[in-house]
Chain A
């Protein structure tokens, strides 16, 4: 029998995370492009971490990117650093009406390969896009 379960919501993410950091990246020589969501910036090491559309996360030097991508990172580095793993949600989520529920231990999951794994927000978003979904 097919297992029935319902996905209730999600996305979550700070407005900037979804719209600002998802883009098509181009290699420094302009020959390759790939789509991915910027997850973190390590300014000191000159590296970024990108979540590819395949679900794989990769980290690499910003020197491998096109000038346009480097400019994009420079222009948006403050916002980008705020969505990185170093950013702490701290008690900020608990001060939000919607964040309070999402900050509870074990309520958020994220797809990791073929299964859902526990997930914690790394920042308290200012806005949430909530997609209500169901499947059975």
Chain B
């Protein structure tokens, strides 16, 4: 399985449960990384922005 080869370490939502999580509402495309706070607000929409924001939050 490709996920095993990639060492996919995170809690994951598989396609059948996708809509049940509400994550589809973000309208993101494959490969995108969003930083989201607990209220659901998107704080960053790229990997670079996300990790910059994380550094600022620490």
**A residues lining the B interface (CB < 8 Å):** 5-13, 15, 19, 37, 51, 53, 55, 96-102, 104, 106-111, 113-116, 119, 121, 124-135
Name the interface size band of chain B. 35 or more
Query: Which of B21, B30, B38, B54 has a CB less than 8 Å from the CB of A104?
Result: B21
Whole-angstrom distance between the Cβ of B52 and the nearest chain A Cβ: 12
User: Which 6 A-B pairs rank lowest in CB-CB distance, beginning with the nearest?
Assistant: A97-B40, A101-B21, A134-B30, A11-B10, A101-B22, A107-B17
When chains A and B are docked, how far (Å) is the Cα of A113 from the Cα of B1? 10
**B residues lining the A interface (CB < 8 Å):** 1-4, 7-15, 17-18, 20-24, 26, 28-40, 43, 50, 54, 57-58
Whole-angstrom distance between the Cβ of A126 and the nearest chain B Cβ: 6
6 A-B pairs within 8 Å (CB atoms) are namely A10-B12, A128-B35, A129-B36, A130-B36, A131-B32, A135-B3
When chains A and B are docked, how far (Å) is the Cα of A125 from the Cα of B57? 14
Evaluate contact between A12 and B10: CB separation under 8 angstroms: yes
Evaluate contact between A131 and B11: CB separation under 8 angstroms: no
Query: Which of B11, B23, B28, B39 has a CB less than 8 Å from the CB of A110?
Result: B11
**What does DSSP make chain A's interface, helix, strand, loop or mixed?**
mixed
Query: Which of B1, B21, B39, B40 has a CB less than 8 Å from the CB of A9?
Result: B21
When chains A and B are docked, how far (Å) is the Cα of A111 from the Cα of B46? 25
Evaluate contact between B40 and A130: CB separation under 8 angstroms: no
Residue of B nearest to A135 (CB): B2
**Most central of B3, B26, B57 by chain A CB within 10 Å:** B3
The residues of B that contact A129 with a CB separation of less than 8 Å are 33-36, 50, 54
Evaluate contact between B10 and A126: CB separation under 8 angstroms: no
